[in-house]
């Protein structure tokens, strides 16, 4: 057998083993993260039930909340890489535009996320789960002393595994990382991420069982004659999704206007505001799992649903603006679910939509709202399908998601996590000395590089293509090598501005030929 073939097979076997290890470790870490948060939220609800009988306990709770808020605020400001969801940081790592050490982020994100999300703030566990998984993947890869590309494969695998453990949705988790975070669908990447997702999901199912994460039972399928509602719903979701993007991307700017409050004290505001929420509406606490599950059981009232949307929208922004570890993934789905309920109530009041389709519209709107804000429609469709445990909604989900996506596109909205990363990395712009770097890009159909010989392209100065991954093969290129769509190029460069070079190369590999 050819020596090159044997070497490639050995490399693939090692990558497969690493993917399994990453998936199992991530499944264990993220499942315990998810389990502890659930118990913390239950403790908060039990405590406030007790405070209804003993209101003086609220004084001690408020004092403890302020102390905890200051501790978490200090932790987040001193170690800014643990702020927020963590998805923008992971995307930056996969684009070679940002780096972080895995262990310091792992344990701080784990503890910070537990106390921030478990305290009842309107933050999601899914973004932090992705970053936790990415740090585990990075740690495994660095321990194995792999090359730069396989290190990024490890990070992507861990990120997908983290989301799979958080949602019990391995297929959607893989698609989300490839579609929204890594933007790379090469066999080298998707196989490793999918294997890690499956292994992580196996661990999660062992702990939490087979019940869907978002259990929204429905009894009727939407008749084709009512599909016109999906168009209207998609437009509404798109408009409100663009509003969500604008607001959340300006939070840091608006927070900076609070000159009278130091950043370490930002968390005090949501920690005190969550007290009346827990007092009156305990089922709304946290990311929103409980609210989604109970939404169809609440009084069928348009004013109630609109009120819940306003509450969830404003307080989730305040929670995220505190810069604590916590994501927007599940809060977005929760807002979508409430919007679906509000739409059904409005149309029912007008006598043009039966109340029996309330669960359907809760499910459709979750997918549509996430699809337009993240601009990841495939992920949205598969995610909701896996999470509700039914394939019956594929066509309505696709319609709502695509329409909402197009509306945001018309309104010039960009993927929210990409925009968040650009905001995040903008805080760390600095002049760097010239040094050797390794980058990787994927060649897309119709781009300048597709079908081009290496010698015929005008590469940036001090830049050389050192390796090509084509399917399962590794190719050592020369000037006559023709680049093809689907190739992943490993590039060595002496550069001072890594981000700028990455941008130039990605433009060449993505932009359609004229």
Cβ burial, residue 389 (10 Å; 0-12/13-18/19+):
middle
Contact (Cβ atoms closer than 8 angstroms) between residue 26 and residue 165: yes
Give the Cα separation of 389 and 382 in Å (integer).
10
Q: Which residue has the higher pLDDT, 306 or 90?
A: 306
Nearest to 113 by CA among 330, 297, 304: 330
- Supply the pLDDT for residue 130: 92
d(CA 130, CA 134): 6
Element (H, E) at 468: strand 463-470
CA–CA dist 496, 463 (Å, integer): 12
DSSP secondary structure string for all residues of 336-394 = HHHHHHHHHHHHHHTTSS-GGGHHHHHHHHHHHHHHHHHT-HHHHHHHHHHHHT-STTH
pLDDT-derived band at 51, boundaries 50, 70, 90: very high
Mean pLDDT (whole number) for 381-390: 77
* Contact of 368 with 337, CB cutoff 8 Å: no
Distance CA 401, CA 411 (A): 16
With cut-offs at 50, 70 and 90, classify the pLDDT of residue 26. Answer: very high
Count, residues in the chain = 514
* Range with the poorest average pLDDT among 222-226, 343-347, 461-465, 498-502: 498-502
Element spanning 474, H or E:
strand 473-475
pLDDT tens per residue, range 174-232? 888 877 676 666 677 778 889 999 999 999 999 988 776 777 777 788 888 899 999 99
Give Rg (Cα) of the chain: 23
Task: Write out the H or E segment, with its range, that includes residue 164.
Answer: helix 148-167
* Spatial separation of the C-alpha atoms in residues 243 and 238, rounded to whole Å: 9
C-alpha 160/C-alpha 212 separation (Å) is: 18
Q: pLDDT at position 401, please?
A: 93
488's enclosing H/E stretch is strand 488-495
Please give the structure tokens belonging to residue 355. Answer: 């109340």
Is the pLDDT confidence value at 24 over 90? Answer: yes
Q: What is the dihedral of CA 393, 123, 127, 71, to 10 degrees?
A: -170
Residue 46 vs residue 496, higher pLDDT:
46
Q: Give the pTM.
A: 0.81
Higher pLDDT, 493 or 134: 134
Residue with tokens 């309330």: 358
**42-62 mean pLDDT:** 92
Question: Residue 123 in contact with residue 324, Cβ under 8 Å?
Answer: yes
- Reply yes or no on whether the pLDDT at 70 is more than 70: yes
Domains located in the chain, CATH noted: 3-208 (1.10.3080.10), 224-425 (1.10.3080.10), 433-510 (3.30.70.1450)
Whole-number pLDDT of residue 41: 93
């Amino acid at each position: 057998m050819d020596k090159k073939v044997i070497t490639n097979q050995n490399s693939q076997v090692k990558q497969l083993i690493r993917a399994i290890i990453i998936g199992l470790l991530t499944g264990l870490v993220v499942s315990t993260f998810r389990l502890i948060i659930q118990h913390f939220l239950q403790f908060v609800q039990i405590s406030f039930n007790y405070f209804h009988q003993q209101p003086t306990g609220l004084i001690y709770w408020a004092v403890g909340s302020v102390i905890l808020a200051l501790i978490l605020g200090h932790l987040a400001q001193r170690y800014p890489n643990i702020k927020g969801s963590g998805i923008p940081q992971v995307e930056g790592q996969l684009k070679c535009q940002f780096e972080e050490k895995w262990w310091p982020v792992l344990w701080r994100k784990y503890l910070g996320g537990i106390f921030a999300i478990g305290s009842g703030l309107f933050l999601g566990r899914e973004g932090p789960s992705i970053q936790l998984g990415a740090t585990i993947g990075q740690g495994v890869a660095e321990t194995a002393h792999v090359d730069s590309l396989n290190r990024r494969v490890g990070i992507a695998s861990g990120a997908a595994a983290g989301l799979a453990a958080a949602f019990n949705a391995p297929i959607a988790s893989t698609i989300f990382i490839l579609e929204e975070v890594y933007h790379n669908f090469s066999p080298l990447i998707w196989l490793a991420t999918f294997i890690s997702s499956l292994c992580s999901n196996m661990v999660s199912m062992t702990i939490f069982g087979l019940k869907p994460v978002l259990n929204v039972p429905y009894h009727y399928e939407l008749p084709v004659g009512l599909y016109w509602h999906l168009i209207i719903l998609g437009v509404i979701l798109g408009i409100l999704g663009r509003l969500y993007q604008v607001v959340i991307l300006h939070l840091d700017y608006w927070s900076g206007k609070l000159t009278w409050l130091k950043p370490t004290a930002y968390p005090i505001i949501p920690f005190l505001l969550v007290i009346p929420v827990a007092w009156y509406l305990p089922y709304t606490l946290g990311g929103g799992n409980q609210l989604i599950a109970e939404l169809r059981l609440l009084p069928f009232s348009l004013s109630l649903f609109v009120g819940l949307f306003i509450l969830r929208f404003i307080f989730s922004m305040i929670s995220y603006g505190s810069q604590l570890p916590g994501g927007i993934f599940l809060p977005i789905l929760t807002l979508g679910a409430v919007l679906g309920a509000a739409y059904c109530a409005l149309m029912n009041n007008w006598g043009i939509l039966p109340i029996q389709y309330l669960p359907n519209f809760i499910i459709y709107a979750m997918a549509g709202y996430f699809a337009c804000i993240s601009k990841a429609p495939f992920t949205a469709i598969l995610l909701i399908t896996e999470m509700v445990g039914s394939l019956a909604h594929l066509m309505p989900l696709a319609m709502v998601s695509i329409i909402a996506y197009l509306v945001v596109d018309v309104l010039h909205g960009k993927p929210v996590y990409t925009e968040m990363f650009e905001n995040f990395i903008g805080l760390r712009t600095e002049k760097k000395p010239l040094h050797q770097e390794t980058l990787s890009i994927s060649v897309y159909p119709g781009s300048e590089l597709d079908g081009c010989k290496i010698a015929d392209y005008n590469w940036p100065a001090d830049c050389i293509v050192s390796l090509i991954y084509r399917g399962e093969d590794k190719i050592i290129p020369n000037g006559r090598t023709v680049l093809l769509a689907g190739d992943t190029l490993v590039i060595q460069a002496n550069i001072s501005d890594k981000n700028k070079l990455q941008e130039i190369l990605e433009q060449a590999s993505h932009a359609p030929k004229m």
